[in-house]
Structure 1
Amino acid sequence: MTLEATSTKPVVHRGHISARIERLPRTRWQVKARVVVGAVTFFDGFEQLMLAYSLPVLVQKWSLDALQTTWLITVGGLGMLVGALSGGFTADRAGRLKVVTGALIIFSVTSLGMAFTDSLEVFMVLRFIEGIGLGAAVPVGASYVNEIAKAKGRGRFVLLYETVFPVGLVISAVASSWIVPRFGYEVLFVIGFLPILLTPLVMRLPESPRWLASRGRLEDADRSMARIESAVEKDTGKPLPQPDLSVATEETNERGSFLDLFRKKYLRRSLMLAGLWFSAYFVNYGIASWLPTIYSKTFNADVQTALQYSVATSCAGLVGCLVIAFVIDGLGRKLCLSGAMLTASILLFTLSGLGATSAIQVVIWTACTAVFIFAVNMALYVYTAELYPTKIRAMGSAWGGAWARLGIILGPIIVGQVLATTGQISTAFTVFGCVAFVGFLIAAIFGIETKEKTLEEINK
């Protein structure tokens, strides 16, 4: 049985879509789609850390104590938690690109509003709403990029897209360290409005054929697939080979629900992913959100120096993201995740044992830790999307993202409590080391390998 590469007839069953995707060569079209969605992800990362690097100034502006500062950090995480859950649920029903577009508009507009308010209460409300958009964009975007990728080299393909997120973090750190001391945090948040210009580019992308097929919209899936095939043929200058329907694995045609995440084999996967997402983001954002304030308050660094020290950590994290993108298809997901979490825990225990007695010491050891924690953060996006069928893939990614947001919420709170009660930052690094070690155990014991398998094979 054969299927013409650019057929205009409806596909017979869902498996035809996966077979047609699997025989696509890498061309400029995939790069374009990855860049457009990646640009949204870039600004998501940029805006997530703008608050952290504006915090030293905001603390002075509103005379915030430790508890108020903690809540100012946390309110964005609460919004991201809501956004991750609602975004995933909506994306599995309304479509990937509609949610990405809506999230983009939300976090762009609210960033502009935060630049022009002098009210702490209004600022926090806008930060919560901004968090909803930030929380929805990345996991849903990751689902889309996973679904247009074929099995061979999928890890590298998706992670090179995901790497733009830490690039956004790094650019946010660099821009903040230069802009905030000279022009004020307001200019930074005005820049956060610029991603709204990406809206028409996102809307012009074809919707995920896998998602359309999973919803029973086979004619729409065929049209979307035909658009992609036409673009690929234009890039290569030659017709595509016929798809191999012997690998056309078909998922069930049942509609997915949130409860499916906890049925049969997906229960174990969901619990494992919850632990990994929580532990990685607890450590990452618990440290990153407070570093500028720790440098300025504990080590008496001025604002510009504190922000420059924090840039080093973000830059180191970017190195980890690039490395994981190139090794994950060879070493596999399980080894990469467990190995990185174990190494991060050892580094954090070492910093705690040394006492975290100087700013330079903290810079060096947190930067080394960031290499491995950022790598885990990125790998989880491709890994999570792989572990669920199309009907619940966005919800599965949202489930992981929700636990990440819980980590983002609790990490800074723990740091705030430790600093408020003991004043010993070394104790906080001990806590982070313990959490990272738990993450290592979860990945090592419960992780499963998915490299070089189609999404349909993984979820038979």
Structure 2
Amino acid sequence: MKNNAYVAVENQPSKRGSAETKPLSKITILVTVICWLTIFIEGYDLVVYGAVLPSLMDPSEWGLSATQAGAMGSYALLGMFVGSSVGGVLSDKFGRKLVLLLSLVLLSIMMMLSALANSPESFAVFRFIAGLGIGGIVPAASALTTEYSPAKYRSLVYVLMYTGFAFGGVAAAVSGMLFIAPFGWRFLFWLGTIPVLIVPFAMKYLPESIKFLQASNQQSKAQKLMEKHQLAEEAAGEEEVAGKSNSLVSIFSKKYLTSTLLFSFIYILAFLLIYGMNTWLPKIMQQAGYPMKSSLAFLLIFNLAAIFGGIIAGAAADRIRPKKVICFTYFLAALSIALLSIKFNIVIMYLLIAVAGFGTTGTTFVLASYVMKHYNSQNRATAIGISSAIGRFGAVAGPILVGIILSMGVGFQFNFYLFAIIAVIASVVILFVPTNQSNQQS
């Protein structure tokens, strides 16, 4: 697939050869920052439930059992499944910008209602609807970032944008350490409403996808946008294989069917790892004998490592075939997670948690970038939306499976064994994704 990024020009359109060597333009930075902020709240929403879970299981609050807590953790993820299923299709049909901002508003409202919930049942309903918003954010933000990134830096820019996910997780873990004791768990959900403040700014400054405007016969709007931001199409000769076809049908065509199925399966494994560990890690480490603050520190390190590991892996994926990078990092995650079943001294445990965060959440940044580059400009939002939506089955299953294992009383080690096996499978499956002959980086 030829690249379709846009770069800023000064007096005249850039040639393809020089475009790839230009520094990042102002519009690339603007789009990346806004999308980073939207992904930040996704990460915050994921980890905040894990941070408050021990409180919700406390008899002085709702006294949830492990099975109940696992099921409740899956409600938001079930909402993400539904949201991702339609979010990519809607963003390809109605525009990335509209879907992104409406999803962010919906998520923020549900955060507020979650803070006000007076029963586990109402809390579960609000969490499910919040998941719908998160599901709509991901494909729209992914498509915008990819389309406005120059080809040379596309993987790195995408990974930098998606570090918002891990930064959101870090913010949730730090908030739990600082605010749960003095203010209670509800305060963390009030904090989760703050990102809605970026909506007016994004409405004014976030541009729509030029490829979307062109594909939807809005040529005049596309031209005005290109002139306003001094953009030049870097790959004017790109084959528009799906410009007028249904993007949902195209990702299941003969050309993409195997890739779509394999990417979807890998996302199931990836989300089972990420959501299972982020939901239950503090409670598992509590069961292993660590105090509450130390357990939240594990969650903090897990997400911090994902930030730096994801950036390193993203830079490597711009130089090495992404599937090799993904294979290696998942295997590294499997090894470190398996070793977590042994209680070493605290420094070694922190190191293993860091490697696990890098190899799970950090690898998913590169995986998403790989998916976006594997498809063309007309169906990539649908591809990432559908594959990640199918992956939500793993997200839903992760918290439930861990809850069941914990309720069986077989020991915290068995959860780590489960996660390690899943990471090994992901490491192997990625190697079977067929190489896209039009994409040299596949």
Q: TM-score, normalised by structure 1?
A: 0.86
Instruction: For residue 248 of structure 1, give the secondary structure of its aligned residue in structure 2.
Output: coil
Distance 1:429 1:123 in 2: 29
Give the distance between the partners of 2:125 and 2:246, measured in 1 at CA.
Answer: 33
Secondary structure of the 1:427 match is: helix
Q: Does 1:284 align with 2:274?
A: yes
Deviation of the 1:243 alpha carbon? 6.5
For residue 290 of structure 1, report the CA deviation from its aligned partner. Answer: 0.5
Deviations 1:238-289 (A, max 9, x none): xxxx8677x6223133232423221112101101211221212211221221
One-letter amino acid of the structure 2 residue matched with residue 99 of structure 1: V
1:399 to 368, 386, 407: 386
5 Å-filtered alignment, 1:136-285, equals 136-203=136-203, 204-229=205-230, 248-252=237-241, 253-285=243-275
Task: State the match for 2:42 in structure 1.
Answer: 44
Report the CA distance between 1:106 and its aligned residue. Answer: 0.7
Deviations 1:386-411 (A, max 9, x none): 12222222111111221332221111
**Structure 2: how far apart are the matches of 1:332 and 1:450?**
13
> What is the alpha-carbon distance in structure 2 between the residues aligned to residue 450 and residue 165 of structure 1?
31
Name the CA distance, whole Å, in 2 between partners of 1:451 and 1:277. Answer: 23
Matched with 1:115 is 115
Matched, 1:294 2:273: no
Partner Cα separation in structure 2 for residue 329 and residue 179 of structure 1: 40
C-alpha change, 1:364 and 1:153, in structure 2 (3 Å) is closer
1:21–1:196 Cα change, 3 Å:
farther
- What letter is aligned with 2:321? G
- Within 2, Cα distance between the matches of 1:362 and 1:406? 29
- Whether the aligned pair in 2 keeps the contact of 1:41 and 1:137 (CA below 8 Å) is yes
Q: Give the superposition deviation at 1:20.
A: 12
Which residue is equivalent to 2:5? none
1:435 aligns with 2:436: no
Aligned partners of 2:38 and 2:181: how far apart in 1? 27
| Structure-2 residue corresponding to 1:426 | 413
Q: Describe the superposition over 1:277-324 as per-residue Cα deviations: whole angstroms up to 9, x where unpaired.
A: 12122112212210111223x134443332123222222222211212
Which residue number corresponds to residue 128 of structure 2?
A: 128
CA separation in 2, counterparts of 1:450 and 1:168?
A: 36
2:89 is matched with 89
State the aligned residue count. Answer: 431
Distance 1:381 1:451, change over 3 A: farther
Paired AA for residue 268 in structure 2: F
Residues 366-394 of structure 1: CA distance to partner in whole angstroms, max 9, x if unpaired?
A: 33211111221111221111122222221
- Distance of 2:149 and 2:333 partners within structure 1: 30
RMSD over equivalenced CA pairs, Å: 3.0
- Quote the offset at 1:326 in angstroms: 2.4
- Cα distance between partner residues in 2 of 1:294 and 1:172: 18
Amino acid at match of 1:286: G
The aligned counterpart of 1:233 is none
1:314 aligns with 2:303: yes
**CA distance in 2: counterparts of 1:17 and 1:395, whole angstroms:** 30
Percent identical pairs in the alignment equals: 25
Is the deviation greater in 81-90 or in 424-433?
A: 424-433
**C-alpha contact 1:328 1:336 (8 A) present in aligned 2:** yes
Question: Which residue matches 1:416?
Answer: 403
Amino acid at match of 1:226: E
> Displacement, 1:422?
4.1
* Residues 250 and 256 in structure 2, CA contact (< 8 A), matched pair in contact too: yes
2:325, 2:439 → 1: CA distance?
Answer: 15
1:331 is matched with: 320
Cα pair 1:332 1:450 within 8 Å, conserved: no
Between 117-126 and 360-369, the greater mean CA deviation after superposition: 360-369
Alignment correspondent of 2:71: 71
Conserved 8 A contact 1:214-1:390: no
Corresponding position of 1:236: none
Paired residue type of 2:284: I
Matches within 5 A, 1:8-19: none
Kept in 1: contact 2:176–2:188 (CA 8 A): yes
- Matched to 1:250, the amino acid is E
For 1:330, what is the secondary structure of its paired residue?
coil
For 1:372, give the aligned amino acid: G
> Which ranges in structure 1 are unaligned for 5 or more consecutive residues?
8-15, 231-241
Tell me the secondary structure at the aligned position of residue 410 of structure 2.
coil
Cα distance in 1 for partners of 2:100, 2:19 equals 22
Distance 2:344 2:18 in 1: 58
